[in-house]
Amino acid sequence: MSNAYLDLLAYFGIGGAHPGGFNLTQSILENESIQPNELALDVGCGTGQTSAFLAKRYHCHVTAIDKHPIMIEKAVERFKNDPAKVKVMEGDAQYLNFKDDSFDFIIAESVIVFTDIEKTLHELARVLKSGGRLILLEMTAEQNLSEELQRKVCNLYGIKEIISEEEWRIKIQQAGFTRIEIIDTPSELNPSEIDDINQSDNIKKELYDLWEEHNELIPFYRHFIGYRAFKCYF
């Protein structure tokens, strides 16, 4: 099923559109210890900004997957003349085409909420090696949301639900993770700084309108909706 918000990100070619933006990604990953021989998976890689950073910073082997064909096209373009160890491929987070215990490190930035959360978390647990680690950056409800607000936000982003930190913890545990840490980040949902854009030609007016609606919504609801960065182990 098509998702207009994900279409927006794809056609505008926006890197680091997730909460906190690419600056937050870098600050989180700088504290990781990833070895050159380790295998990393960037789920919902978008145009490949995070994958590029992982490959350049750690010289590890990165697999970058996304479900949106325009995102894949732009990620491939990013690495066309780049010797970085990044393999870009189409993939669905809910049905990962990888063997069990395939990766040492997995990152998903504002991806899981756009899928069947339980199904995707179980898939990520399946392909993560024992001793590996998973980093998730996801939208959270900061307080009980009214039905009207839930409906408005879910309709805008094409998602089914907005869940709290505790509900995320429960779902992550149910997927098999026994250790869950909250990475220290600002929790408030503020507009991300965007400086990585590869815009398509002839973008429909509806997508411009949707982007404007998104930008109007964030400051108005930032006390109700935030995000968390989770680090998960077995």
**Quick check: 188 pLDDT over 80?**
no
Q: What residue spans of 59-113 are helical by DSSP H?
A: 69-79
Determine the pLDDT at residue 196: 73
Q: What is the rounded radius of gyration, in angstroms, for the C-alpha atoms of the chain?
A: 17
More confident residue, 165 or 191: 165
Q: Which helix (H) or strand (E) holds 106?
A: strand 103-109
More confident residue, 21 or 52: 52
More confident residue, 138 or 187: 138
**Smallest Cα–Cα separation from 138: which of 176, 180, 97?**
180
Q: What percent of the chain has pLDDT over 90?
A: 65
Determine the pLDDT at residue 128: 98
Determine the pLDDT at residue 224: 87
Of 73-77, 116-120, 144-148, minimum mean pLDDT range? 144-148
Largest CA distance in the chain: 49
Per CATH, the number for 4-233 is 3.40.50.150
Q: What are the residues whose beta carbons fall under 8 Å from the beta carbon of 223, sequence distance 6 or more?
A: 142, 143, 188
More confident residue, 178 or 189: 178
Bridge partners of residue 136, in order along the sequence: 108, 230
Highest mean pLDDT among 40-44, 145-149, 160-164: 40-44
**Quick check: 193 pLDDT over 80?**
no
Cα–Cα dist 187/224, whole Å:
11
∠17-177-231 over CA atoms, to 5°? 35
Determine the pLDDT at residue 190: 54
Instruction: Tell me the per-residue pLDDT of 55-85, one tens digit each, with 9 for 90 and over.
Output: 999 999 999 999 999 999 999 999 987 767 8
Of 30-44, 53-67, 124-138, 175-189, minimum mean pLDDT range? 175-189
Of 41-50, 134-143, 210-219, minimum mean pLDDT range? 210-219
Cα–Cα dist 161/178, whole Å:
24
The number of angstroms, rounded, from the C-alpha of 188 to the middle of its chain's C-alpha atoms is 17
DSSP assigned state of 48: S
Determine the pLDDT at residue 83: 64
Cα–Cα dist 61/193, whole Å:
28
Determine the pLDDT at residue 183: 93
Question: β-strands 61-66, 128-141: how paired?
Answer: unpaired
Determine the pLDDT at residue 199: 82
**Quick check: 32 pLDDT over 60?**
yes
Q: How much is the mean pLDDT over the chain? A: 90
Cα–Cα dist 146/81, whole Å:
49
